[in-house]
């Protein structure tokens, strides 16, 4: 119910929203949880395993119970915490893990079966038959136990990632964080203040304390106003720092769109990487529940949460509230409620010697031992000196003390330190390099001390970074000592819940200890305590305290489980943001792309490049027809193909020739100006890295081409050689791949085509095979290379890329007028297989120069990378699988790449393997299927028959072993 005169919500801005289909009204500034409580809705979810009715336990991001699904359909967001989700007009939220409805949930029968479903039940029960686990048990269990679901459709929302840099990252904007940020900012540091709440201020918004003589929220506003006005401060609200990583990098999740109606282009969340020279963790503390029988009914929550609802949201979670605690802090809840006019039924303090200054029935040395009410708390049982008494109440505010939020300090393997006086773990200094800790997360438990520590730590950091902080005037604030006596568990019959989200009870933890899962890490995994999305924020310390008791050890000896990032749940969509669809990888497009698409050519991806597969024409019904036609262009007339994707590396300098001689197996220092040579490059281990042609453009100037696939690898290799192996060489490398649009003009009519286009016509004398030089194309200076990947008389013509589109259209139009046209990758592949030319199908990383029949290309006159290793006996063994051609023996049958080769009489099993097929093509020129492959002692076996077996595709056929050069073995055409 709303309480008049309390809260920071805007009562002039009503907001209508729906929960489980029913419309409610709240105010701007409400969370879903506070607005529902204001409407007396306490039942907000069903528990994970037993489907117990649950309400909110907390008022913050640690909430284990009140998880809802926001929205419906493609954009539905499961497992949103009602305590974090702000309301906005039109918000639609649904409860989860219930069927058919939240009020009547059939799967709550699990709760009746609870005696059988304790820790280890699944492990013990569903072991056999083994095959049933994946198909039957797991799906059924998942159906019954669960959280919200995604829509199953591709995510329609935007997420983004971003980087930020600062001198100081302050994590948390409560009293310590605000004071730290203020001190550091005044000293001139570049400060980012990040807080996970929509509104900064931390507990100062939730308490009734005065700071500096004014209400806490007013003091917060005054500080924020000052910070906002400073250029060196960046305030990031709704931003949860989720992880601490190496070198001062922090992950943070900002909720950008969750609190607003959907807008098409606004991201829902931003995943930040914040790089900070220093950080101050001021993350505060989380209140811990007390484990007593049936401590999970809707209406039972932490005492601090009750104060938050009252003081921040103007909501009392109950009409008659009972307060139960083991510390003085809990008394504040009763005092604030009474001051607001809410009835307090009782204050129960577990300590017999507690001083309780509250005008309500007081029970000292007493505990709450049970509760009743099914979907809502109706009464509690107080046990005092052996007597039990029922008290009617609809809300119990409980406090077992506060756990400092040490999580981030443990993200780099640090372990927290136990402090006996506050019965809590605190951060171990230095656990994260560059991180300081201040305030309640450091075990500093009063407002005045938090303010002081924030200022002190920030001043220290400023001094460390060479800035001087003025001694701050510390605002006056409450400084009441935080006194408590440990209280983890109230003994009794029935289930006392520790981990509300994963339904783990005190009994489960004891059971784990009994079954010898005594290590805290084993207990965690056996019971699943702390393994839900709240990561045990509400239960870790209590669970290990009970484990410590059950195993007869102290809490520090028992230790904590490991805290890992993220501190709060992060959508995978946020971490991978932008990298879907077009954002997955850059698209590299050639200058002929538009013309290619206009011709409806299907595109294939070659690395990041998009290249045409073939250019279909009217009447063609499958790719083979197009491909055969395009092969015919090149063999009979002239074909045009964009080859710009091949890597082109400009190499200049006095030692350019020396570099080429070193990286290629053959010699380039002897190459004449204006000539091109084919080169083979080995890896250090003697296997083939890449091949290509290199042209000599000047005395100290070469242009190397690489394959499309290996362009990056070769550039990296050359960089390595020139930086690491021979840094003394004066040689300069730069990629010119993108500068030139380069087209193959191939076929018997290629020269005729070019002569109609170039400003000076070509002759055999001036332009023999493997010549290169500058040419003028319609007044544009280009480069011409007489090289061939088809075995035909062919050229590659390059012009600056801006003319690529225009030149491609011109070349294709001219080729078409001469009975030729454009050809794609399929035809290119057929042409080269007919000639036995290799690609990375053959030089796939495991083959040597010897294997591909090019061992004579390793010059005996000089050293080169890979030469020594290539000479190892195992790499020149005649038994090795070596390159051959294959063609069908007898009737033409299918030949498939990837098939293996066997002797005809052998069974097609691994031990009989003789080799494999790497490339296949139907040769329209020869009218049959042909293939390249590797066969043991291959070149010695021409004329033999081998059995080709493709186990994966069920193909088996006999092939004849032949020379890999199927077409024009004398090479007359290329020179003609």
Partner 1 sequence: MGDLIAKSACDGLLPLEIGGATLTEIVFDAITSVAPWRGHEQAVSDALKSQMGAAFPAPNRSTGKAKSRAVWSGRGQALVLGPPLEPIAGAAMTDQTDAWACVALEGPAARDVLARLVPIDLRDGSFKRGHAARTQLMHMSIVLMRTGADRYGIMALRSMAGTLVHDLETAMEAVAARG
With beta carbons less than 8 A apart as the criterion, state whether 640 and 745 touch.
yes
CB atoms within 10 A of CB 679: 22
Measured from the CB atom, is 266 or 319 closer to partner 1?
266
Shortest distance in whole angstroms from residue 971 CB to partner 1: 33
Give the DSSP letter of residue 283: -
Closest CA to 921 of 949, 959, 894, 883: 894
Measured from the CB atom, is 418 or 785 closer to partner 1?
785
Shortest distance in whole angstroms from residue 909 CB to partner 1: 44
Measured from the CB atom, is 311 or 644 closer to partner 1?
644
Shortest distance in whole angstroms from residue 266 CB to partner 1: 4
Shortest distance in whole angstroms from residue 185 CB to partner 1: 15
Reading the block at residue 271, the tokens are: 């995943």
Q: How many CA atoms are closer than 13 Å to the CA of 317, on its beta-carbon side? A: 36
- Could you give the C-alpha distances from 90 to 17, 74, 81, 87, 260, in angstroms and in order? 5, 17, 18, 8, 9
User: Which residue, chain included where needed, has tokens 């940020």?
Assistant: 181
Shortest distance in whole angstroms from residue 450 CB to partner 1: 30
Shortest distance in whole angstroms from residue 738 CB to partner 1: 4
Shortest distance in whole angstroms from residue 835 CB to partner 1: 28
User: Which residue, chain included where needed, has tokens 């509300």?
Assistant: 500
Q: How far apart are CA 370 and CA 362, in angstroms?
A: 18
User: Which residue, chain included where needed, has tokens 């242009």?
Assistant: 703
Measured from the CB atom, is 484 or 715 closer to partner 1?
715
Shortest distance in whole angstroms from residue 232 CB to partner 1: 10
Q: How far apart are CA 217 and CA 902, in angstroms?
A: 83
Measured from the CB atom, is 63 or 254 closer to partner 1?
254
With beta carbons less than 8 A apart as the criterion, state whether 930 and 886 touch.
yes
Shortest distance in whole angstroms from residue 273 CB to partner 1: 7
With beta carbons less than 8 A apart as the criterion, state whether 610 and 589 touch.
yes
With beta carbons less than 8 A apart as the criterion, state whether 252 and 239 touch.
yes
Largest CA distance in the chain: 116
Measured from the CB atom, is 368 or 777 closer to partner 1?
777
- 701-706 vs 647-652, strand pairing mode: antiparallel
Angle value at C-alpha 915, between 910 and 921, nearest 5 degrees: 125
Measured from the CB atom, is 543 or 798 closer to partner 1?
798
Q: Concatenated DSSP letters for 15-81? A: EEEEETTEEEEEEET-BHHHHHHHTT----EE-TTT--EE--S-SSTT-SS-EEEES-GGG-EEEEE
Buried b (16+ CB within 10 A) or exposed e, 947-974: bbbbeeeeeebebbbbebbbbbeeeebb
Shortest distance in whole angstroms from residue 799 CB to partner 1: 7
Q: Concatenated DSSP letters for 298-314? A: TTEEEHHHHHHHHHTT-
> Of how many residues is the chain composed?
976
Measured from the CB atom, is 249 or 945 closer to partner 1?
249
Measured from the CB atom, is 730 or 863 closer to partner 1?
730
Q: How far apart are CA 731 and CA 875, in angstroms?
A: 32
Shortest distance in whole angstroms from residue 255 CB to partner 1: 12
Shortest distance in whole angstroms from residue 708 CB to partner 1: 12
With beta carbons less than 8 A apart as the criterion, state whether 775 and 783 touch.
yes
Closest CA to 959 of 943, 973, 938, 972: 943
Measured from the CB atom, is 586 or 874 closer to partner 1?
586
Measured from the CB atom, is 780 or 928 closer to partner 1?
780
- Could you give the C-alpha distances from 498 to 290, 332, 495, 504, 509, in angstroms and in order? 8, 24, 9, 6, 9
CB atoms within 10 A of CB 155: 16
Shortest distance in whole angstroms from residue 263 CB to partner 1: 6
Phi (first) and psi of residue 204, to 5 degrees: -65, -25
Residues that bind partner 1 (CB under 8 A): 158, 160-165, 190, 256, 263-267, 273, 275, 578-579, 582-583, 585-591, 608-609, 650, 652-654, 701, 723, 730, 732, 734-741, 756-757, 777-780, 799-807, 810
Measured from the CB atom, is 251 or 853 closer to partner 1?
251
Measured from the CB atom, is 43 or 709 closer to partner 1?
709
Closest CA to 295 of 506, 529, 120: 506
Shortest distance in whole angstroms from residue 270 CB to partner 1: 8
Shortest distance in whole angstroms from residue 732 CB to partner 1: 4
Measured from the CB atom, is 778 or 907 closer to partner 1?
778
Q: How far apart are CA 47 and CA 110, in angstroms?
A: 11
> What angle separates helix 329-339 from helix 303-311, to the nearest 10 degrees?
30
With beta carbons less than 8 A apart as the criterion, state whether 647 and 710 touch.
yes
Measured from the CB atom, is 742 or 914 closer to partner 1?
742
Measured from the CB atom, is 11 or 266 closer to partner 1?
266
Measured from the CB atom, is 728 or 879 closer to partner 1?
728
Shortest distance in whole angstroms from residue 582 CB to partner 1: 5
Assess whether the previous peptide bond of 100 is cis (omega < 30° from 0): yes
Phi (first) and psi of residue 553, to 5 degrees: -115, 170
- Could you give the C-alpha distances from 382 to 290, 322, 348, 365, in angstroms and in order? 14, 11, 8, 10
Shortest distance in whole angstroms from residue 651 CB to partner 1: 9
């Amino acid at each position: 119910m709303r309480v008049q005169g309390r809260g920071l919500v805007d009562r002039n801005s009503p907001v209508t929203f729906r929960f489980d289909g029913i419309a409610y009204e709240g105010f701007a500034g409400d969370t879903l949880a506070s607005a529902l409580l204001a409407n007396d809705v306490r039942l907000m979810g069903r528990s994970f395993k037993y489907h117990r009715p649950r309400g909110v336990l907390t008022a913050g991001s640690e909430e284990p119970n009140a998880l809802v699904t926001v929205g419906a359909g493609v954009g539905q967001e499961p497992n949103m915490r009602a305590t974090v989700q702000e309301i906005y007009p039109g918000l639609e939220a649904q409860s989860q893990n219930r069927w058919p409805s939240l009020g009547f949930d059939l799967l709550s029968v699990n709760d009746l079966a609870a005696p059988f479903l304790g820790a280890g039940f699944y492990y013990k029960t569903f072991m056999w038959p083994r095959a049933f686990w994946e198909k039957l048990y797991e799906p059924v269990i998942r159906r019954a136990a669960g959280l919200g679901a995604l829509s199953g459709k591709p995510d329609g929302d935007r997420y983004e990632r971003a980087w930020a840099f600062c001198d100081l990252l302050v994590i948390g904007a409560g009293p310590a964080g605000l004071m730290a940020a203020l001190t550091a900012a005044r000293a001139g540091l570049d400060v980012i203040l990040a807080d996970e709440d929509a509104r900064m201020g931390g507990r100062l918004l939730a308490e009734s304390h005065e700071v500096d003589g004014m209400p806490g929220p007013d003091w917060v506003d005054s500080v924020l106003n000052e910070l906002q006005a400073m250029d060196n401060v960046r305030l990031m609200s709704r931003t949860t720092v989720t992880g601490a990583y190496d070198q001062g990098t922090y992950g943070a999740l900002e909720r950008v769109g969750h609190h607003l109606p959907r807008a098409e282009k606004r991201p829902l969340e931003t995943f930040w990487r914040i790089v900070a020279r220093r950080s101050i963790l001021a993350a505060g503390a989380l209140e811990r529940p007390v484990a007593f029988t049936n401590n999970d009914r809707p209406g039972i929550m932490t005492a601090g949460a009750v104060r938050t609802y009252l003081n921040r949201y103007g909501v009392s979670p109950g009409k008659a509230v009972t307060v139960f605690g083991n510390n003085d802090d809990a008394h504040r809840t009763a005092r604030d409620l009474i001051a607001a006019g809410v009835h307090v039924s009782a204050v129960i303090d577990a300590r017999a010697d507690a001083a309780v200054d509250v005008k309500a029935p007081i029970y000292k040395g007493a505990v709450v031992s049970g509760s009743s009410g099914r979907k809502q708390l109706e009464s509690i049982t107080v046990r005092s000196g052996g007597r039990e008494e029922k008290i009617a109440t609809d809300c119990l505010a409980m406090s077992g003390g506060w756990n400092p939020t040490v999580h981030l300090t443990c993200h780099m393997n640090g372990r927290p330190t136990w402090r006996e006086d506050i019965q809590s773990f605190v951060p171990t200094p230095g656990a994260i390099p560059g991180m300081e800790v201040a305030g309640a997360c450091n075990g500093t438990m009063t407002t005045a001390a938090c303010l002081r520590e924030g200022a002190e730590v920030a001043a220290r950091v400023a001094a460390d970074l060479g800035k001087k902080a003025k001694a701050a005037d510390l605002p006056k604030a409450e400084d009441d000592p935080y006194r408590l006596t440990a209280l983890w568990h109230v003994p009794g019959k029935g289930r006392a819940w520790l981990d509300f989200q994963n339904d783990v009870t005190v009994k489960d933890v004891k059971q784990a200890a009994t079954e010898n899962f005594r290590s805290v890490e084993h207990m965690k995994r056996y019971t699943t305590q702390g393994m839900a999305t709240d990561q045990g924020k509400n239960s870790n310390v209590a669970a290990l305290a009970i484990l410590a008791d059950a195993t007869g050890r102290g809490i520090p000896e028992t230790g904590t489980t490991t805290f890992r990032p993220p501190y709060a749940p992060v959508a995978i969509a946020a971490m991978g943001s932008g990298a879907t669809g077009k954002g997955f990888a850059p698209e590299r497009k050639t200058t002929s792309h538009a013309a290619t698409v206009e011709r409806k050519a299907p595109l294939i991806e070659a690395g990041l490049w998009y290249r045409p597969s073939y250019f279909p024409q009217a009447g063609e019904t499958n790719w083979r027809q197009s491909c055969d036609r395009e092969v015919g262009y090149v063999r009979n007339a002239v074909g045009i193909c964009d080859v710009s994707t091949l890597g082109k590396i400009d190499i200049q300098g006095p030692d350019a020739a020396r570099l080429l001689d070193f990286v290629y197996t053959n010699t380039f220092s002897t190459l004449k100006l204006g000539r091109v040579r084919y080169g083979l490059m080995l890896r250090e281990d003697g296997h083939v890295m890449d091949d290509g042609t290199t042209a000599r453009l000047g005395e100290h100037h070469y242009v190397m081409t690489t394959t499309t696939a290996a362009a990056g690898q070769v550039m990296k290799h050359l960089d390595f050689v020139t930086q690491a192996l021979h840094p003394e060489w004066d040689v300069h490398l730069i990629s010119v791949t993108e500068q030139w649009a380069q087209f193959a003009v191939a076929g018997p009519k290629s020269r005729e085509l070019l002569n109609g286009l170039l400003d000076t016509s070509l002759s055999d004398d001036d332009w023999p095979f493997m010549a290169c030089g500058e040419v003028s194309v319609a007044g544009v200076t280009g480069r011409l290379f007489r090289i061939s990947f088809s075995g035909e008389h062919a050229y590659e013509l390059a012009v600056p890329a801006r003319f690529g589109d225009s030149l491609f259209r011109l070349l294709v139009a001219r080729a078409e007028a001469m009975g030729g046209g454009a050809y794609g990758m399929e035809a290119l592949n057929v042409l080269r297989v007919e000639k036995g030319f290799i690609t990375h199908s053959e030089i796939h990383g495991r083959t040597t120069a010897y294997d591909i029949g090019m061992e004579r290309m390793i010059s005996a006159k000089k050293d080169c990378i890979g030469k020594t290793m290539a000479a190892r006996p195992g790499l020149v063994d005649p038994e090795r699988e070596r390159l051959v051609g294959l063609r069908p023996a007898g009737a033409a049958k299918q030949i498939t790449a990837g098939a293996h080769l066997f002797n005809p009489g052998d069974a097609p099993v691994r031990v009989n393997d003789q080799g494999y097929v790497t490339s296949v093509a139907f040769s329209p020129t020869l009218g049959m299927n042909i293939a390249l492959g590797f066969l043991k002692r291959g070149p010695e076996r021409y004329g033999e028959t081998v059995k080709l077996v493709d186990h994966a595709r069920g193909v088996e056929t006999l092939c004849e072993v032949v020379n890999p050069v199927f077409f024009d073995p004398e090479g007359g055409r290329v020179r003609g």
